[in-house]
Amino acid sequence: MRELNDPDFGARFLVAENGSDVLSFIRLIKEGASTSGILAFDFETNALKEDRVNPLEDSILSCSFCFDDKVAYAFRLQSKNKWLYDDNVVNCIKEFYEWILNNKNIKKVIHNLKFDLKLVWRIVGKYPLVNDSSWEDTMIMAYLLDENNSVGLKRLASRYLNLDGFKYERMVLEVGKISNMSSLDWYIVSQYNCADSFMTYKLYYVLLDKMKADDLFDLYEKLCRPLLLLLLETEIIGFKLDIDYLKQKRMWYRDKLIELEREMSKIVGFNFNPRSVKQLRKVFESLSLSGKIDKFGKTGFSTDKNVLAKLSKQGDLVFVDKLLEFKKSQKISEFINGLLEKQRDGIISTNFLLNGTVTGRLSSREPNLQNLPRGAEVRRAFISRDGCKLVIADFEQIELRVASFYAKDKTMLDIFKSGGDIHSRTAIECFKLNCSEKEVKEKYPDLRVKAKGVNFGILYGLSPKSLAEYINVSIDDAKDYISRYFYLYTGIKDLIDKTRSSVIENEYVENIFGRKRRFLGLKNLVKSKGLNDEEVSSHLREAFNFLIQSTAVDICNLSIINVKKGVLENNLDAKLLVQVHDEQIWEVVNSGVERFCSILKSESEEVIGGFKTPIDLRICNSWGDKYAD
């Protein structure tokens, strides 16, 4: 054993040098954690850069532990995914992690919980379930306290603990150019590792007190912590892919892009690369299109898809239509290639981020399943495993329902209560239609689509100019639609005004579940620049949008948590595969589908007592089946 004291941290870092030390450390950690009731721990893997980290594949270098503010322990685990000890020590290490998993009397504290628990799963083949309240994540605790700033461990330690959180990171960087952490001297890695678990331990108590003082603990305990554990299972399980189908589509799009490139070159009279912005600008100039573009960037006029879409609407521009088709096909092709590259044994696993947005809406990466190309084509590749079905649930117009809930607008509430069509009702008012809601769908489907744009555009806080562009009408017409909308739904206008006044006075917005969005300095900004200032207007739009979107998000998240708890209580085999915005997809063993659907509806359609949030439910073999009609 080697002792590496750190006077700056006021801590002793004890590092195991052999298997005997590891066994001794395990005994001391068990005793200490059992006495203190808490154990912070942290893994180090060989990945050096965050964008290259993959806890399901990276080599597990070491792990450190801390159960008080005096000492942290670290021992090595693997090199190139091979254990460094004999079978006896390895078995003791595995039993130790099982002890950690099974011991509900000890608070286990991790910074970025899902990452480290995936490594535990790789070691022992187990992970905690959604109803296990013995786990804590300081990263998500910090996010709930401040959604606007970094939640990196080193930065938080500097901010809240007055420690030099970056001390050991600098030590790693000073070694020089290295390919990964396994290239470093073990004692440097061990100090880095010990510092992380020590900072996590101390940070937990500070953040816990702050959360309780800010009335955020219930939100964390009832929503965020169980959601983390549910998504951990989702990421480990993964989604099955139809690899043969994806390979066929890859070939098809490769040929299509080649053909579109030939057709565009024929139109302009010379060969060019449609992926090159510089070459596209030359093409636009040769076709005299540049004069029709009013959107300019730092290096000239823009050729992005929004500009192209506007050009396409101006007349018969065959080249622009072909280019739009090329860009759409290119996006689909790239997504298909990404799925094939990232899949392992026909399974794709993503990484969900609870702290990726200020509203609490989940984001994902590697791959980003929130950014799937529209329609059924790519989704058809996402399939159920043998003996299972996909159960897909989609909340119906949840953000508009949430707006009606807060606004208590009688007209909107009556529409939803009676099963009416809010987009048709809005179309009748805005476009002065003399017909029933049912007739709007049949006779004026285009106007219903525009009315849908009005409904959501106002929720998003669009100005008359932005709404005009959004639904392709004149600014005067957009102003008229907004006026008519607020005449019909008076409660929405009152809610917007009330939210604006509140956020200016308090500098934060809080939803019904206690989630907050902070706008520090807004009061002074309003005093100095006025309500019509662009920055002020942006903050006020964000505040109202947060109230609606964050509530919808939390309803969706509480739904999947409650459903999973119901699954466990009923001993069903059903696992969440993905949640994308208002849509959730479960994989359910065939024999349990009927019972599961009953649980899903009962746990999703009234998350808030007395407030109905209906879901559309489909049973499918592939994700694309839902979109096929």
Which has more confidence, 171 or 322?
322
**306 pLDDT above the threshold of 70:** no
CATH of 352-398+553-627, one of 3.30.70.370, 3.40.640.10, 3.40.50.970, 2.40.50.140: 3.30.70.370
Neighbours of 435 (CB within 10 A): 13
What is the CB neighbour count within 10 angstroms for residue 65?
28
- The pLDDT score that the predictor gives to residue 296 is 44
Look over the chain and give the mean of its residue pLDDT values, rounded to a whole number.
92
Residue 213 banded pLDDT, cuts 50, 70, 90: very high
What integer is the mean pLDDT of 143-170? 92
42-46, 329-333, 370-374, 568-572: lowest mean pLDDT where?
370-374
Please give the Cα distance from 544 to 399 (Å, whole number): 12
Res 156 pLDDT > 90: yes
Rg (CA), the chain: 28
pLDDT tens profile 331-389: 999 999 999 999 999 999 999 999 999 999 999 998 999 889 989 999 999 999 999 99
pLDDT value at 93 more than 70: yes
What SS3 state is found at 389? strand
What CATH number is given for 241-345 in this structure? 1.20.1060.10
Give me 152's structure tokens.
């990196």
Tell me: pLDDT of 311 over 90.
no
pLDDT tens digits, one per residue of 534-551: 999 999 999 999 999 999
When mean pLDDT is compared across 123-127, 225-229, 249-253, 440-444, the lowest value belongs to: 440-444
Q: The tokens 């096909």 sit on which residue?
A: 329
**Who's near 133: CB < 8 A, 6+ residues apart?**
104, 221, 225
Q: What CATH number is given for 399-550 in this structure?
A: 1.10.150.20
Query: DSSP readout, 441-494?
Result: HHH-HHHHHHHHHHHHHHHTT--HHHHHHHHT--HHHHHHHHHHHHHH-HHHHH
Domain with CATH 1.10.150.20 in the chain: 399-550
Task: Please state, in angstroms and rounded to a whole number, the distance separating the CA atoms of residues 20 and 374.
Answer: 57
Q: Write down the residue that tokens 């329609």 correspond to.
A: 375
Residue 299, pLDDT score = 47
* Tokens coding 591: 């024999």
Which residue spans of the chain are classified as CATH 3.30.70.370? 352-398+553-627
Residue range(s) in the chain whose domain bears CATH number 1.20.1060.10: 241-345
CATH 3.30.420.10 placement within the chain:
2-238
Q: What is the pTM of this model?
A: 0.93
CATH fold group of domain 2-238: Nucleotidyltransferase; domain 5 (3.30.420)
